[in-house]
Amino acid sequence: MTDQKKYETDIAIIGGGIAGITLALELLEGGERRRITILEGQDRQDFGGLAKSAFGGMMLVDTPEQKKSGITDSHELALKDWHDFADFDKDDHWPRAWAAYYVENVTPMVRDWILALGLKFLPAVQWVERGLFQPGNSVPRYHILYGTARYLMTRLISRLERAAKNGHLTLLFNHKARKFITDAGAVSGIEGDDVKSGRPFSLMAGTIIIATGGIGGNHDKVRQNWPVDWPKAPDRMLNGCHPSADGHFHDQTQDIGGRVTHLDRMWNYAAGIPHPQPRFDNHGLSLVPTRSSLWLDHRGQRIGPLPLITGFDTNFLCRQVVAREKPWSWHVMNWKIARRELAISGAEHNPDLRERKFLRLVLKLLFADDGLLRQMVAESDDFIVADNLAELTDK
């Protein structure tokens, strides 16, 4: 039997994504002198988690960016919109409390904090989830980071490394946490294994914080928690996050008496394709549905009669697609529409935004560009091009 590697710390953070990194940074820069250890199951190159590949958009409330665009917003309006859209249950005390806390604090605690890191947002505030059959965001609130979330993570990791020079932070990569260690009913540590060597380890800690993400990377768990009022979950789904977001510590928390709720309030997307260079099973890309295309089912019939249009209610789009006889669909458009409207969410396929090339970004917005379109036609079997409709259907 392999000997167990034993560690000790004062504060253990399970997960090296944006939540875990931000927490450690806040503690260190706040003068915390106790020992902090981050357990990360991936390699050092993956430090930062899903945020390193994310687009970098976020809902902010009553910001200077909104005011410069002539958008009138307020905490009261944002909270009303949230309540209108959330469909809270009568016993949803904590979700209501979170909504109130978020709209009141997101601008000073998130926007201002990000600006203090030396980042900024694009001046144009986007209007998404504005509602379809019930009100959503009554004004634009979607702020996009200049540089995408990858640039944010680069700055955060660099800052964390500087703050860690006092010797109070330990980073354990390729250390997969598996379960809690309990003593007389209290959590006293974590057990897991080194994924490279297979050697088990234990980490004893006075404080343990879970920052392991959601359940979206575990499709079995997604199906278990699929909304009961939705059509059946599809047999095959694509993964736009990461398999490590598997909900394992949701289960571990429940096993020791913790309360985990609202897992059915998940966020899925209706328009995705397999990643042309997948890094794991069912790795997917989230396409932003084009406004002017025809959205067709697997038989080539238009989904309707109400057209599916992005920006209003993403959950409605998902319900409509999974309700089809076969839960997949086509977007049909001409080249002119595609070159202007095709977009893929995330940092990877938005290089000008990611690399902060402002002039090129503006030129693409003004005059369109078919670089992304040609790339996807060359790389993906799910992009089909023909000179006429008959040829297209034959393909």
> What secondary structure does DSSP assign to 314-329, as a single string?
HHHHHHHHHTSSSS--
Q: Are 274 and 382 in contact (CB under 8 A)?
A: yes
Pairing label, strands 5-14, 36-40:
parallel
Q: Are 375 and 320 in contact (CB under 8 A)?
A: no
**What is the C-alpha separation between 84 and 106, in angstroms, rounded?**
19
Listed as ranges, residues in the chain with pLDDT below 50 are: none
Q: Give residue 305's identity as a one-letter amino acid code.
A: P
Half-sphere exposure for 353 (CA within 13 Å, toward CB): 26
> In 3D, which of 342, 333, 330, 339 has the Cα closest to residue 386?
333
| Confidence at residue 108, expressed as pLDDT on a 0 to 100 scale | 97
Q: Are 264 and 315 in contact (CB under 8 A)?
A: no
- 10 Å Cβ neighbour count for 289? 20
Q: What ranges do the domains of the chain cover? A: 5-210, 269-394
| Confidence at residue 395, expressed as pLDDT on a 0 to 100 scale | 81
| Confidence at residue 2, expressed as pLDDT on a 0 to 100 scale | 67
| Confidence at residue 393, expressed as pLDDT on a 0 to 100 scale | 87
| Confidence at residue 340, expressed as pLDDT on a 0 to 100 scale | 94
- 10 Å Cβ neighbour count for 142? 16
End-to-end CA distance of the chain: 57
Q: At the top level of CATH, which class does the domain 5-210 belong to? A: alpha beta
| Confidence at residue 1, expressed as pLDDT on a 0 to 100 scale | 52
**What is the C-alpha separation between 304 and 232, in angstroms, rounded?**
19
pTM: 0.92
